[in-house]
Structure 1
Amino acid sequence: MASGKEKPLHSLIAGSTAGAVEAFVTYPAEFVKTRSQFGGQKESPFTIIRSTLASKGITGLYSGCTALVVGNAVKAGVRFVSYDHFKSMLADQQGKVSAPRSLLAGLGAGVMEAVFAVTPSETIKTKLIDDAKRPNPQYRGLVHGTISIVRKEGIRGIYRGLFPVVMRQGANSSVRFTTYTTLKQFVQGNARPGQTIPSSVTFGIGAIAGLVTVYTTMPLDVIKTRMQSLEARQLYRNSFHCAYRIFTEEGLFRFWAGTTPRLARLVMSGGIVFTIYEKIIAVIGGRE
């Protein structure tokens, strides 16, 4: 993020817009990642794409997309507003944030987005994707799926997997914002006074932040997906039991299932989100 404090409303608008665009553009990678993390027979990303296109067509790769687009827009808005708030609280007199403080601000932002946006949208998205691979899907779309889940399981049904989501989002935001902020401050420190960082550089920094985030938080993402699947209540008592079963029954490397599609998505996502966010903030004059 550039120097200066973002106005909360402008930060919300820029973050929500960036999140919605990013979710739609990168959703096929998210679909493949989620499918590859379910239990059962292992499938390569290409096998999942080929079988989905053969049975469902191109729309099959967008099963559950609406849930993620809406959730991602809210999530990104909450994330940027929360991060900027925590960052301003922790900044020094020059307005700079050290790496440890950026990590703490990112953690706070991750927890906020997990509770208010990510858990409900991710749970619904995961159940829709899990349901879509069945011969006779029971959910007809986002609205019908959400109503059916709530009727059957109550509000807890869309908050299943809250703990691993909080852990994952806290780790995601901590790593992503710390990496991004540290690299951007380094670039700004080596730039000429008043020089604007090009969008290509912003995209590259965001992409690197996404790359680092993927490999450090992948196990939490796998546990989150398993805990939000349709069979989770029958298979796992809690997140720790889920992790134990994955480790003992499927091996350590199963925690990195779906790394390739998630890597593709988060590298693109990091670049897209930060670039669009910075552009919108610049256009609407959102910094004080």
Structure 2
Amino acid sequence: MDFLIGGAAAMCAGVFSNPFDVIKTRQQLQGELQKNTKSKLPYRGLGQAIVSIVRAEGLKGLQKGLGSALGFQFVMNSTRLGLYETVDRFGWTRYSETQNHSPVLCVLWGGLAGIAGSAIGCPFYMIKTQIQAQSHGQFAVGYQHDHRGTVSALITTYQTQGFKGLWRGFTGIVPRTAVGSAIQLTTFTKCKDFFMEYETFKNSTFLTATAASMVSGFFLVVGMTPFDVVATRLFNQGIDSNGKGLLYRNIFDCFIKTFKIEGMRGLYKGFVANYWRAAPHTILNLTFWEQFKKWKDLYLSDEANMYFE
């Protein structure tokens, strides 16, 4: 049940955050491995990016890749949040003496849960990235894949590249999700503990989860964005006849080339859009998660009471 709750919460949040994910993806790909391209960029700011997407593809362009995005959110977060909730219930994230949450253990289990989730959800993330990057004319950025939909893209990728092709770029998403998950779950858990010391928050699951998520979302974006840029570029790059990337050999090659040509700003491309994607997504995801857990506990409690009556 904990695994289904985690996946359902993430899907609810994903519907609201996907437009910012589309913008973030295109900003991370525009001007890829180029210097001094500011005047040529179609997605320079959040407002201009929205206008460019709507102009080229209509309002539906803001929800591009939604199917694969929700697929990734469910698979990744059902695994990630389900595992984290399970180990937390066993007390493996707490000091044995005081039962308070240990930041070190939260980071460890949050990171491991993130790795497990990304390993399973990797194909959906790759297809999501490639579909979100698709546009035309002056609005096209990065390598353009000709996908018609999530299922079609998964089948085509498997047929042309084999099972291994579905996990191309896996080395990019593992550190991204491990770092992001460790930061998100650790800061969320510790902030929730802090806010719960005050009477106002003790009486409201929603208020506690929202406040903790707002803080968690900021730290998440600061720590994860460079890894997010690299993951986006590794997944979206084209491949040659041997299945090798046209631009990057691996995650280290992508980091080095991006930093060497575009500088630190290149590794933080799409930061604002990423914050508007990640912060609300964190708030909605973890708030839904807390609320769903509360409803589950109430349901099980009612079931138990009916059994003993």
Instruction: Determine the structure 2 residue equivalent to 1:147.
Output: 155
Greater radius of gyration (CA): 2
User: Taking structure 1 as reference, are residues 92 and 248 closer, same or farther at Cα in structure 2, changes over 3 Å only?
Assistant: closer
Once the two structures are overlaid, the 10-residue window that deviates more, 253-262 or 227-236, is: 227-236
1:257 pairs with 2:260: no
The correspondence for 2:120, drawn from 100, 107, 116, is: 116
SS at match of 1:282: helix
- Distance in 1 (CA, whole Å) between partners of 2:124 and 2:161 is 15
Alignment match of 2:130 (pick from 127, 149, 158): 127
- The percent identity for this pair of structures is 22
Q: Is the 8 A contact 1:130 1:230 kept in 2?
A: no
Equivalent residue number for residue 107 of structure 1: 111
Among 128, 133, 138, which residue is 2:146 paired with? 138
* Aligned-residue offset at 1:173: 0.9
Is residue 63 of structure 1 aligned with residue 64 of structure 2? yes
- Between 172-181 and 88-97, the greater mean CA deviation after superposition: 88-97
User: Which sections of structure 2, spanning at least 5 residues, go unmatched?
Assistant: 32-36, 240-244, 302-309
- Name 1:86's counterpart in structure 2: 87
Task: Count matched residues.
Answer: 277
Q: Is the Cα contact below 8 Å between 1:39 and 1:226 reproduced in 2?
A: no
Given residue 193 of structure 2, which amino acid in structure 1 is its aligned partner?
Answer: Q
Distance 1:137 1:58, change over 3 A: farther
Contact 2:258 2:266 (8 Å CA) reproduced:
yes
- Quote the residue 2:285 is aligned against: 273
Distance 1:137 1:236, change over 3 A: closer
Q: Does the residue aligned with 1:59 lie in a helix, a strand or coil?
A: helix
Rounded to whole Å, the distance in 2 between the matches of 1:284 and 1:153 is 42
Counterparts of 2:257 and 2:173, CA distance in 1: 18
Q: CA deviation at 1:104?
A: 0.9
Q: Does 1:96 align with 2:97?
A: no
Q: Once the 2 structures are TM-superposed, how far is the Cα of residue 141 of structure 1 from its aligned partner?
A: 1.1
47-56 or 222-231, which deviates more: 47-56
**Structure-2 residue corresponding to 1:5:** none
The residue correspondences of 1:170-181 to structure 2 (distance < 5 A) are 170-181=178-189
Residue of structure 2 in register with 1:222 after alignment: 229
Report the Cα offset of residue 198 of structure 1.
Answer: 4.3
Q: CA deviation at 1:57?
A: 0.5
Q: For residues 53-96 of structure 1, what are the alpha-carbon distances to aligned partners after superposition, in whole Å with 9 as ceiling and x for unaligned?
A: 11211111112110011110121111111112333334334543
Report the Cα offset of residue 129 of structure 1: 2.0
Output the amino acid matched with 1:72. Answer: Q
Q: Which residue of 1 aligns with 2:177?
A: 169
Partner residue, 2:296: 284
CA contact (8 A) 1:207 1:266 kept: no
Distance 2:135 2:70 in 1: 18
> Is the 8 Å Cα contact of residues 176 and 210 (structure 1) preserved in structure 2?
yes
Amino acid at match of 2:231: K
Specify whether residues 195 and 235 from structure 1 end up closer, same or farther in structure 2 by C-alpha distance, changes over 3 A only.
closer
Alignment counterpart, residue 13 of structure 1, candidates 4, 15, 24: 4
Normalising by structure 1, we get a TM-score of: 0.89
Q: Cα–Cα, structure 1 residues 213 and 59, in superposed 2: closer, same or farther, change >3 Å?
A: same
Once residues 272 and 252 of structure 1 are traced to their aligned partners in structure 2, the CA distance between those partners, rounded to angstroms, is 30
